[in-house]
Amino acid sequence: MIKISRFRAFIRKHQKSAPVVFFILGFTWDSLTLGSIDRLYDQIIICVYLLSLSLSLYLFNLVDDDKWKETFLERYEDYFPLAIQFFIGGLCSAYVIFFSRSVSFTKTVSFFIILVVLLFANELLKKRISNKYLQFGTYFFVNFTFFTFFIPVLVNTMNTFIFLISGGISLSSTLILVTFIYGKSPSTRRELNKTKLINLILIIYATINIFYFFNLIPPVPLAMEEGLVAHNIEKENGTYTVTYQKSGLFSAFDNETSYTPGDSLFIFTSIFAPADLKKRVNHHWQWKNSQTGDWETSDKIEFEITGGRDGGYRGYSYKTNILEGKWKVDVTTNDDMILGRINFTVVYDSTNTSRNLETETF
């Protein structure tokens, strides 16, 4: 009889809460160690996580079939669900780390809602991680998000077509794994309705695509790291000196900017992109007509960014003879996917007395 260690006894005693703890451990570990999707170390880590998660799912789902009876794996059966949660947490945290580089809160919050639901899903379902629909549904989600980052980095190109290819690869690989485990495990066939599971995966697939095409998530792996309304920008020896008006707590939603008629206003952005990836982006200036309530395009200024710089590719556009009122500048790719949005309200001030200016270098 296999001797139960103190650690195994502890895990069995706390088997209801242990998976959630290991999910959080995986999330925290990656938060401390990962940094950039185009760094070789990060790419290796998330590849290992996905492969390890796939293997853990296979091992765990064959436990009830006594597949590992009288093998060296039998002593580790209690740890399989913990491994699943750890690798799910690790993959989710990697995605959040890369994703949270964007300053566009309205785009980021949609994923964090999904992440919170995922984090507490085990507590909401009676069978927790043993629920096979939860297992494979979650696996597909983290699989999909992995490929939406990894494929553009691999081919140095990102666009809607690449996103669809990434989704197709993740869908195919998930269905292959599900079919393989389903064929190997009689207990899985008893517990699982294959048609129901495939429908669940297809619903998740459709939902992520809807989020993408309705701009509820940004076009990963691009991310807008900085976005400022500036009164002056100077470039010298590769350094940008940006003078801008100090804003309030809720500047991400509306930033009041004093303006002297005849001067120029600048929009400064830094956009992260993986090394060797080039992409054309736009600053889409729009003014809200107070009489009609419609947003009217003032200018759409395009330039190319090149990836590889940790602080993001820096660029700016500017306008003179700005109308008073509400403005927004959408930072978009050339296929109209939104990276971020800068909102501000122009208030005429011919005396320059209400400005509270700061200068920062990038």
Cα dist from 94 to 29, 67, 77, 322, whole Å: 10, 33, 27, 41
Tell me the pTM: 0.77
- Residue 288's pLDDT is 96
* Domain layout of the chain by residue ranges: 6-213, 223-361
Lowest mean pLDDT among 26-30, 41-45, 133-137, 345-349: 26-30
- Residue 101's pLDDT is 61
Who has greater pLDDT, 335 or 316? Answer: 316
Lowest mean pLDDT among 106-110, 153-157, 288-292: 106-110
Task: For 91-148, give the DSSP string.
Answer: HHHHHHHHHTT---HHHHHHHHHHHHHHHHHHHHSTTGGG-HHHHHHHHHHHHHHHHH
Average pLDDT, the chain: 82
Question: Sign of torsion, CA 45 51 57 60?
Answer: negative
- Residue 248's pLDDT is 58
Give the number of other Cβ atoms within 10 Å of residue 361's Cβ: 9
Q: What is the dihedral of CA 21, 22, 25, 27, to 10 degrees?
A: -100
Who has greater pLDDT, 75 or 129? Answer: 75
pLDDT, tens digit (0-9, with 9 covering 90-100), for 131-155: 788 889 989 999 998 998 889 888 8
Which own/partner contact pairs does 156-162 have at CB distance under 8 Å and 24+ positions apart?
A: 156/274, 156/276, 156/277, 156/278, 157/277, 158/219, 158/220, 158/221, 158/222, 158/277, 158/279, 159/333, 159/335, 160/335, 160/337
List residues bridging with 267 in a β-sheet.
229, 317
- Residue 40's pLDDT is 78
* Rounded Cα distance, 316 and 318, in Å: 7
- Residue 11's pLDDT is 57
Share of the chain above pLDDT 70, in %: 77
Most confidently modeled range among 21-35, 135-149, 247-261, 282-296: 282-296
Pick the CATH number of 223-361 from 3.40.50.720, 2.60.40.1930, 3.30.360.10, 3.40.50.2300: 2.60.40.1930
Lowest mean pLDDT among 33-42, 51-60, 102-111: 102-111
DSSP code of residue 45: H
- Residue 123's pLDDT is 47
pLDDT, tens digit (0-9, with 9 covering 90-100), for 48-86: 999 999 999 999 999 989 999 989 998 888 888 888 878
Task: For 49-66, give the DSSP string.
Answer: HHHHHHHHHHHHHTGGGT
List residues bridging with 245 in a β-sheet.
357
Lowest mean pLDDT among 145-159, 164-178, 228-242: 145-159
- Residue 249's pLDDT is 53
* Rounded Cα distance, 97 and 330, in Å: 23
Mean pLDDT for the stretch of residues 334-359: 83
Mean pLDDT for the stretch of residues 105-109: 56
- Residue 325's pLDDT is 94
